[in-house]
Structure 1
């Protein structure tokens, strides 16, 4: 597996390193640690760097920035080398989100790891601008780190029967997750049976009986939906639990996470209702934006 780690030296970047180390990835994993020297390009290809002083001064400033960036990469690179994996480092210049996405493509990364916020992001916003753009536009799976994690004990895996949630389950098995991880599978039913309550009827008892039967049938179908993936994890020795939720998926996943207290929430980039032309589904976006926990968004293998 090839993993690109983007860092700006912030506290949240350190959370990304700790989460990856907690996953206990195999030594054949290949890491690339990168940082981006921010550089805005104006119309005509002009940058502020081009307007500062003479050529010699610009070259000196450019060299100083690159040296500072290279020093920034030393700590995370050394931390990842301690896992036994091979590690490369690279410094890019330009728009941070664009450069991260471009480097992920060139590196053929299976996963991009970023902190939820950068040094310049406001505390008022739950997700920083770079993380948000990488999450939305990257063609590869993305880990958004929000906590310092020493061990992966609890994992919440959202399942909806789509190829994207299947890909999420397969991604975790291929990592693989540490065997001590407790994996909680959740699915959320957005049924229309509740509308029966609002329908005019002369026999409320019969109406309630039909509603209860439909709920039971739905929940059985939901558990059957999860059964295949659950069995795959049990066959590998993981301790598992299945929960059927009822309501809007993103809201229910976020609510359930407060009870489960996972070290990691994992879900597919899109669900059954996702439109193929969209790069990221609304459920994945909302969970990643408002979760208090680290979130792994898995793209379909065909992405």
Structure 2
């Protein structure tokens, strides 16, 4: 992942400052510019009167501690629109996992979800304290479609030292219909095995396609709801970062029908990098246009 600029959104609380530290460590690893912006909790309410002075001190501390270029983003309101506009000029947005229990949070989604929908940029939701040497293990939830290949490459490039695990949970969608149609057990078993074989073949295709070192990429397959199984796998393997792609959807669609990416975000216990498929296409195009080394 070619990260040239990062936007860290913080409310200057303890989780918000942890977010700045994570963003600064990523900026240091990628040689990127770090922009730090203040936003009130949940993007709601007026900006704190002391936010400007506090944000300036945070910027100075991050620059000195990590030896990176840091820019303070001045804003008068710190709302969602301002954050989304600033995110449009960055390659990655980093925000804390800050639950919003208001009606807005219930109907329109959590702050990270609303920013993701508005900005259409990769959003890293931070829950864990940043380690000095980056992430230890990265779990990449894939759906076996063609869009999964750039997602895997992006995840491998995001932290070059981490171990990578590709995970897919298949759900034999038509198995219930076959049972209702009184199809024999042998036919249902054959259908289930065919689904599993297809998943294994596609996982092999994905692992062979990645540009990462082969000895740090493994793959595993589960069965059942993809979001639930990805969260379970993350906790089982103790992965500290989960990477998942997200297809375009409105707030109403996400509320009524759910989104695999957003359910993964809610159920997992690690940091989560949510990558919109539009951002994947942009990153893949930029990578293809880059001169060969």
Q: What is the match of residue 57 of structure 1? A: none
Q: What is the match of residue 35 of structure 1? A: 38
Q: What is the match of residue 16 of structure 1? A: 19
Cα RMSD after superposing both structures:
3.6
Q: What is the match of residue 241 of structure 2? A: 264
TM-score, structure 1 as length reference: 0.74
The CA deviation string for residues 192-245 of structure 1, in whole angstroms up to 9 with x for no partner, is: 3422334325xxxxx333223222222221122222332345743551221112
Instruction: In structure 1, list runs of 5 or more residues that go unmatched.
Output: 42-47, 50-61, 202-206
Partners of 2:16 and 2:253 in 1: how far apart? 24
Confirm or deny that 1:174 pairs with 2:157.
yes
**Which residue among 57, 75, 82 is the counterpart of 1:74?**
57
Structure with higher Rg: it is 1
**Which residue among 196, 208, 217 is the counterpart of 1:219?**
196
Q: Is the partner of 1:15 in helix, strand or coil?
A: helix
Retained in 1: the 8 A contact 2:123–2:275?
yes
- Which structure's residues are more often helix, by fraction? 2
Q: What is the match of residue 200 of structure 1? A: 182
The CA deviation string for residues 108-161 of structure 1, in whole angstroms up to 9 with x for no partner, is: 11111000117xx559x8998432311332221101111113141111101113
Partners of 2:195 and 2:259 in 1: how far apart? 23
Q: Is the partner of 1:26 in helix, strand or coil?
A: helix
Please state how far the C-alpha of 1:297 moved relative to its aligned partner: 0.6
Please state how far the C-alpha of 1:163 moved relative to its aligned partner: 5.0
**Higher RCO structure, 1 or 2 (CA under 8 Å, sep 6+):** 1
Alpha-carbon spacing, 1:27–1:142, altered in 2? closer, same or farther (3 Å): closer
Partners of 1:90 and 1:275 in 2: how far apart? 29
Q: Which moved more, 1:239-248 or 1:129-138?
A: 129-138
Q: What is the match of residue 83 of structure 1? A: 66
Partners of 2:35 and 2:112 in 1: how far apart? 17
Please state how far the C-alpha of 1:284 moved relative to its aligned partner: 1.0
Retained in 1: the 8 A contact 2:156–2:164?
no
Q: What is the match of residue 120 of structure 2? A: 139
Alpha-carbon spacing, 1:71–1:283, altered in 2? closer, same or farther (3 Å): same
Q: Which moved more, 1:236-245 or 1:274-283?
A: 274-283
Q: Is the partner of 2:244 in helix, strand or coil?
A: strand
Q: Which residues in structure 2 correspond to 1:42-121 (within 5 Å)?
A: 65=49, 68-75=51-58, 77-79=60-62, 82-94=65-77, 96-105=79-88, 108-117=89-98, 121=100
Partners of 1:278 and 1:154 in 2: how far apart? 34
Please state how far the C-alpha of 1:86 moved relative to its aligned partner: 1.7
TM-score, structure 2 as length reference: 0.76
Retained in 2: the 8 A contact 1:171–1:298?
no
Q: Is the partner of 1:186 in helix, strand or coil?
A: strand
**Which residue among 136, 139, 154 is the counterpart of 1:153?**
136
Q: Is the partner of 1:143 in helix, strand or coil?
A: strand
Partners of 2:63 and 2:14 in 1: how far apart? 17
